[in-house]
Chain A
Amino acid sequence: MKPAPFQYVVPESLEEVMDILGQHGAEAKVLAGGQSLMPLLNMRLARPAVLVDINRLPGLDQIAVEDTAVEIPCLVRQRAAERSPIVAEELPLLREALRHVAHPQIRNRGTICGSIAHADPAAELALVLVALEGEVVAVGRGGERRIPANAFFRGIFTTALEADEVIRSVRIPRRRFSGQAFREFSPRAGDFALVAVAVALDVDPQGRVQTARVAVAAGSDVPARLTEVEARLQGAQAGAEAVKAAAAQAREAVQAGSDAHASEAYRRHLTEVLTEEALLAAMATTGGNVA
């Protein structure tokens, strides 16, 4: 199909974006990379009255390293992030996850912030933002606010963004982990994941897990941390035994959804398998001895 008619505006500043959004509210949609919105327009699942194309906004396509965080503005393409030396150095988990996002041809246009704003429950980038305790910088007529990832995703395709707000950037803390890993299972490469797992941890010189982050997207409304599993890992000797126990617990703790693509039971199974793989891989990158 073809998009329904809309009014097309190309603002030249964020202030102009806010004005337009303020005026049209939910009738307006922001178009960045378009890799989620364009399919919805083509299929007429979305019929916004006004399409606000932000692609010509100046100065919002470069990743910046600040003292405490890496800032990724709204016009940074996924493929640019994938190739960024900053991301390779500071955010290896993001880099690993990006390779699972659709295909290179899609990542060439798709943006990091666009995927976050779209809030698909299976999206890799939302999961990474939750795992790394990132925040969304939203700007609107009321000013700027920073929304932590765990408060940003409210449900399927639903976020804390107000109708007059646009994501200016996402910020991810500069926090080195001794190891991290991303694993997902999808029926075909590039498909949305049935289950995706993001793991980051610190292992002390004695081989004990100091901190662990385990985040899972398993077909429920939003990606979530498995805090019980994290607590269980903390203080445990890094190795196959602790990993097996943690993975088994993840299977029970995860909020798994059931739909045409996979049953809840299958998603629980995948959660266990992928959590085990991810934890072992993360421990292996710490250089520790994983028995």
Chain B
Amino acid sequence: MSTEQLKTEAERPVAFTVNGQAWRGWVEVRRTLADVLREEVGLLGTHVGCEHGVCGACTVLVNGQAVRSCLMLAVQADGCEILTVEGLSESTERLHPLQESFWDHHALQCGFCTPGVLLSAYALLQENPQPTLEDIHEWLSGNVCRCTGYQNIVEAISDAASRLSAEKGGR
């Protein structure tokens, strides 16, 4: 099929990497990345809440940056590297230190917002390993949680930052 033809098709071939695994398939151009991750790739950890960028439940990392997967078309992710909540921990035996910290601090209740919150927190710590409370608040402002009141989430992220820095320093 020529490029010219492709440009007018309702579906396009898309290839990207999710959590280190290559994925390719035909995708309807109007589908969001969030929907394709859930329904085509089969990764249900990315949650879809508001579908207009406010709630943050669908937050994933695309090429290392936290973005709303409901505000990006899946075709736009062609050639990108994606990280979802399923890819946070390196093994099925052990949680990522952020996830451990969320467990310890009771930073989730219903869990609907948690994948998005974890990925926002992960992105924050990637670019700023020792964030201030203000930094954490700024990043968390992009994720709505209706259960916890945020305080435990802030504590969990803060504690995870300390643990991760200590781990790094100890090596």
Residues of chain A having any CB pair with chain B under 8 Å = 1-10, 31, 34-35, 38-39, 41-43, 51, 53, 55, 79, 99, 102-106, 108-109, 188-190
Contacts and interface: CB of A to CB of B under 8 A. Distances in A.
A188 B12 contact: no
Interface residues of B, number: 32
B114 interface: no
Contacts of B70: 38, 42
Contact of B141 (A2, A7, A41, A190): A190
A7 B138 contact: no
B74 to A, nearest CB: 11
A5 B30 contact: yes
B141 to A, nearest CB: 4
A108 B76 contact: no
A190 B142 CA distance: 7
B47 interface: no
A219 B68 CA distance: 27
Interface stretch (B50-58, B94-102, B152-160, B161-169): B50-58
B38 interface: no
B137 A42 contact: no
Interface of B: 7-8, 10, 12, 29-32, 35, 51-53, 56, 59, 65-68, 70-73, 75-76, 120, 123-124, 137-139, 141-142
A39 B52 contact: yes
Nearest to A5: B30
Contacts of A103: 56, 138-139, 141-142
A38 B31 CA distance: 11
Given A8-B75, A102-B142, A105-B59, A35 B29 contact: no
Nearest to B116: A105
Given A35-B53, A104-B124, A105-B66, 12 more contacts: A5-B10, A8-B29, A34-B73, A39-B51, A39-B52, A39-B71, A42-B71, A102-B142, A103-B138, A105-B142, A189-B137, A189-B141
A38 B142 contact: no
Contact of A55 (B51, B68, B76): B76
Nearest to A39: B52
Nearest to B119: A105
13 contacts: A1-B51, A2-B35, A4-B30, A6-B29, A34-B72, A38-B32, A38-B52, A38-B70, A39-B51, A43-B52, A104-B138, A106-B142, A190-B142
The 4 closest A-B pairs by CB, nearest first: A103-B142, A39-B52, A8-B29, A189-B141
A96 to B, nearest CB: 14
A253 B6 CA distance: 54
Given A39-B53, A189-B141, A2 B32 contact: yes
A210 to B, nearest CB: 34
Contacts of B7: 8-10
A32 B56 CA distance: 20
B71 A8 contact: no
Q: Most chain-B CB neighbours within 10 Å: which of A1, A5, A34?
A: A34
B12 A105 contact: no
Nearest to B60: A105
B51 A104 contact: no
Q: Most chain-B CB neighbours within 10 Å: which of A2, A5, A6, A79?
A: A2
Contacts of B124: 104
Contacts of A188: 141
Contact of B30 (A2, A10, A105): A2
Nearest to A103: B142
A4 B28 CA distance: 11
A51 B137 CA distance: 35
B72 A109 contact: yes
A105 B35 contact: no
A34 B30 contact: no
Given A10-B7, A189-B137, A189-B141, A104 B76 contact: no
A8 B161 CA distance: 42
A43 B70 CA distance: 11
Given A2-B31, A2-B32, A6-B30, A106 B138 contact: no
